[in-house]
Structure formats: C-alpha cells, structure tokens
C-alpha cells in the first residue's frame, strides 16, 4: 500500500468517526453538534552541537462542540476512537450545562457550496524516511561548518508532518482535508575576537526542496553580524527587512487586528476603518487559503467551511476582516 493510499484510508476512517460522533451527540440531548478529529504523523531529526536526535510519533485529537438549551459547550481530548468520542461528548454536554447563554451565538456553521481543494501533496514528502532526514541534517551541519571556520556551534533539524483532519456538524457540514509539509532549519553561532553572533535560516515547503543552501545561509548571516558596527548616531532612515524577519512581525501585527471577532468586540485598531487607507499603496495582503503551495492550504477550515482567497488589504486600503462562523453570523455574512 502506498503512502498516498494510506492517507486516503485514514481520511475515510476519520470521516466515518466524525459522522458517528455527531449522531451520538444528538441522541444524547444536544440540539446541535460539531465533531473535529485530527491525526498528524511527525518525523523529526535534530542536531545539537554534533549530537543527532531522531523521533517519530503521532498526534491524535478530538474536539466536540455542542449546543444544549441554547448554551454552547466544548471539550477536547487526545486519542481517536469511539470510546474517546463518547467521553468527549459527555464532557462537552457537561460544560454546556454550567455555562450561561451567549446572546450573540446564533448557531453552528452552515454548509457553503464553494469549490475548494487541498494544497499540493508531494509523494516524495510522504515517502521521506528517517534515513533521508538523517542524511539531510548531516549535510546541513557540514555545509554550515564548511562555510567559515568561525562557526562554533550548530543547531538544526528536518521535520515532516503529514496528516488528516475531518469535521462534521448537525447542520450538514461534512469535510475532510489532507496535507504533508517538510521543513528544515539551521541556527548557528559564530565567534571572532571575543564577539559572538548568531544566524538563522529555514525552509518549509509542500514539495521536497533542496536544503543544500540552508546551512551556508545561516552561517553567512552570523558572519555578517560579526562585521556589523554601530551607527554612532540616531537617525531616521529607510530599512530593508528580509523575509525571515518581516514575516513574523507582520503576523504579530495583523493576525489579531484582522480578526472580525476582535473588531466586533472593540479589541482591534482596524475597527471602523473598513475601506479606509491604512497603509502604503504598495501593500496588498491576501489570506489565501487556496494557494497550492501554501503551508496551510486545505480544502476546508476547522469548521468545515471551504477555504478561499480573501483580500484583506488592497493597495493600502482595508477590504476585509477574517471571519469564523460566530463572527460572520453577527453581520449576516458567509
């Protein structure tokens, strides 16, 4: 059996379990129910100052959301079988029983008819073995040390995640998504004449990439930092950011601010700024849930709603917020 067919078999198993879970929750008194199950297999090989560590494992989880007497309860647990589902349903019903009614809650997500698909699933990643990872990590380390003799320590690794999640609810949602991603990175320390600097480089992809430059790029950053000098003065000037730095910064700035729930609750500085110019003409940002090579591209989101491409900002103008079903229903949106 190929790894692709194994993933498909797992998808069928999870789909059956979420369907069974929803029916069980309804028979036990829930007015509405949603069941989410995920199974992710992980392979990781790391190197720390010459010592290589390898591990493999699986992460299995169940999440159940129920509505009972107009109150919403949620519970989650690890594992993936009907007994665990039964237990989680009972816990969710128990939580609903002690929670107050949320007047803003309308109902769980409704099905949406929209074409969507999972991102690229590369057979080479599905078949990537422990031995392959060991070889790649060894090459990463050697490339970093070979680049410059001032490198004193290397930390890095290769990891592969492949898995499936399925979700169903009592309003007709029934979805399943699959994915496989590989990532590699190096963090190195370089020293020279009592000075010590660090460099980092990483590469994540849905297709098996060439990791050959990752180690040398990390070392190059550390060496360049050794050569850095203070400006000696304060000034206002233009700064060029590398992707490795600006990505996390943009995520921190925008992820919370673009949340429709945060906007509705007055917790976002984007509140009241829809269709206003809030950035440079050169700034256009998409939440692209259907980019084939996107690391988080799936057929559906965790509520079972088909993923899509959403324009958040266009030429500096705020165009959209990011909605889940709870927030969307406050504004009669889909």
- Ramachandran angles phi, psi of 275, nearest 5°: 70, 10
- Ramachandran angles phi, psi of 199, nearest 5°: -140, 150
Predicted confidence at residue 186, as pLDDT, reads 94
Domain boundaries, the chain: 243-330
Q: What is the mean pLDDT of each run of 10 residues along the chain (334 residues)?
A: 85 97 98 98 93 94 97 96 95 97 96 97 96 93 88 94 98 97 96 92 96 92 91 91 86 94 96 96 96 98 97 98 97 90
Predicted confidence at residue 1, as pLDDT, reads 58
Predicted confidence at residue 177, as pLDDT, reads 98
Give CB contacts under 8 A, 24+ apart, made by 18-21. Answer: 18/166, 18/167, 18/168, 18/174, 19/168, 19/174, 20/82, 20/85, 21/62, 21/64, 21/85, 21/89, 21/168
Q: Confirm if 307 and 300 have CB atoms less than 8 A apart.
A: yes
């Amino acid at each position: 059996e190929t790894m692709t067919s194994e993933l498909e078999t797992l998808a069928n198993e999870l789909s059956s379990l979420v369907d069974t879970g929803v029916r069980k929750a309804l028979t036990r008194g829930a007015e509405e129910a949603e069941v989410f199950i995920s199974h992710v297999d992980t392979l990781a090989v790391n190197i720390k100052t010459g010592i290589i560590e390898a591990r493999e494992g699986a992460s299995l989880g169940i999440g159940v959301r129920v509505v009972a007497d107009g109150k919403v309860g949620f519970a989650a647990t690890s594992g993936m079988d009907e007994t665990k589902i039964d237990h989680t349903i009972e816990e969710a019903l128990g939580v609903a029983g002690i929670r107050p009614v949320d007047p803003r809650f309308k109902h769980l997500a409704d099905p949406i008819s929209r074409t969507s698909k999972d991102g690229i699933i590369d057979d080479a990643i599905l078949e990537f073995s422990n031995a392959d990872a060991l070889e790649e990590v060894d090459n990463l380390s050697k490339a970093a040390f070979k680049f410059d003799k001032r490198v004193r320590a290397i930390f890095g690794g290769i990891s592969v995640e492949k898995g499936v999640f399925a979700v169903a609810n009592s309003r007709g949602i029934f979805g399943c998504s699959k994915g496989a991603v590989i990532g590699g990175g190096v963090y190195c320390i370089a020293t020279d004449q009592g000075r010590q600097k660090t460099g980092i480089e990483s590469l994540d992809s849905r297709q098996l990439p060439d990791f050959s430059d990752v180690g040398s790029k990390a070392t190059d950053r550390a060496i360049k930092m050794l050569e850095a000098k203070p400006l000696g003065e304060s000034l206002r000037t233009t700064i060029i950011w590398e992707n490795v730095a600006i990505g996390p910064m943009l995520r921190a700035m925008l992820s919370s601010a673009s949340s429709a729930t945060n906007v509705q609750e007055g917790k976002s500085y984007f509140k009241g700024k829809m269709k206003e110019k809030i950035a440079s003409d050169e700034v256009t940002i998409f939440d692209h849930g259907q980019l084939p090579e996107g690391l988080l591209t799936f057929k559906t989101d965790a509520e079972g709603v088909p993923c899509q491409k959403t324009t958040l900002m266009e030429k500096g103008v705020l165009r959209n917020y990011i909605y889940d079903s709870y927030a969307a229903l406050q504004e009669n949106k889909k």
